[in-house]
Amino acid sequence: MKPFIVRLRFHGDLNVFLGSGAGDGVIERRLAEKTSIKDVIESCGVPHPEVDLIVVDEQAVGFDHTLAGDAKVKVFPVNNRDSFHTEKRLQMIGISRFIVDGHLGGLTRNLRLFGFDVGYDQHADDRQLLEIMVRENRALLTRDRRLLMHAIVQHGYYPRSQNPHEQTIEVIRRFGLSELIAPFTRCLRCNAPLEEVAKADIIEKLQALTQIYYDRFRRCPNCEQIYWPGSHFSKLQKRIEEIRARVRGTP
């Protein structure tokens, strides 16, 4: 067939995925055969779970839309939810179950601190991560762009920042989770929900000062780690308040 030109404009922060040659977020592709819009977008480096809205020649389309002639395409991220085409959005928000790749241990800990259900195994390979993602219906968090582009991934996110604190804010914003934050309800080590436990039941496991100064305890039913509002508690509390404020406000 006759070659045709597709002109793509990437909005919002999707330009983090584009090469340095696309400073203004615009990429042109010359194609010689019918191609799905999803493949064209991913050929520009943008993983499909990052794409919330695709507009081809002023018409919102899905990932399976096929391009066969000249076209102007606008691509929007999730964090750019304006009032237009709200019914044509391709991603879901409100997902609070995650599987996190082995490089994001700090993010994992922070999300668990907020009470979110986060699967994490430092030694899992890509195949195992994807298996858990599907089996347990989790969204994938990874800075491995290729992994996020895997066809089997439905929900996922690529943290922009390298900093776990900033990554946490990004994830809470991306998935709209600020109302679901429940601090100190989940084991930071193994992800199990914590249970209240009577002091008398665990007192022999506590150090002398802890026995004296604290009365409320939670225990992980899985790994038996004991949690109490100890010296680092107020520091964590401060961090949580700061993140909450940042999520509510503008960046």
Measured distance CA(104)–CA(245) in Å, rounded: 23
Number of residues that bind Zn ion (CB under 5 A): 8
Three-class DSSP category at 199: helix
Q: Is 195 a binder of Zn ion (CB under 5 A)?
A: no
Give whichever of 155 and 186 is closer to Zn ion, judged by the CB atom: 186
Give whichever of 124 and 190 is closer to Zn ion, judged by the CB atom: 190
Give whichever of 2 and 232 is closer to Zn ion, judged by the CB atom: 232
Q: Is 190 a binder of Zn ion (CB under 5 A)?
A: yes
Find the part of the chain contacting Zn ion (CB under 5 A) among 17-25, 26-34, 106-114, 182-190.
Answer: 182-190
Q: Rounded to the nearest whole angstrom, what is the least distance from the CB of residue 194 to Zn ion in the complex? A: 8
Measured distance CA(247)–CA(175) in Å, rounded: 11
Length of the chain: 251
- Please pick, from the candidates 7, 72, 189, 238, the single residue that binds Zn ion as defined by CB under 5 A: 189
Q: Rounded to the nearest whole angstrom, what is the least distance from the CB of residue 140 to Zn ion in the complex? A: 23
Instruction: Put the strands of the sheet holding 59-61 in their side by side order.
Output: 26-31, 4-10, 71-76, 53-56, 59-61
Here's the x/- map for Zn ion, 220-249, by CB under 5 A: it reads as x-xx-x------------------------
Q: Rounded to the nearest whole angstrom, what is the least distance from the CB of residue 219 to Zn ion in the complex? A: 9
Here's the x/- map for Zn ion, 6-45, by CB under 5 A: it reads as ----------------------------------------
Measured distance CA(96)–CA(138) in Å, rounded: 8
113's CB contacts (< 8 A; 6+ apart) are 183, 184, 186, 188, 236, 240
- Please pick, from the candidates 107, 187, 194, 197, the single residue that binds Zn ion as defined by CB under 5 A: 187
Please give the radius of gyration of the chain, using alpha carbons only, rounded to the nearest integer: 22
Q: What is the DSSP letter of 192?
A: P
Q: Is 103 a binder of Zn ion (CB under 5 A)?
A: no
Counting beta carbons within 10 angstroms of the beta carbon of residue 25, is it exposed (0 to 12), middle (13 to 18) or buried (19 or more)?
Answer: middle
List residues binding Zn ion (CB under 5 A). Answer: 187, 189-190, 192, 220, 222-223, 225
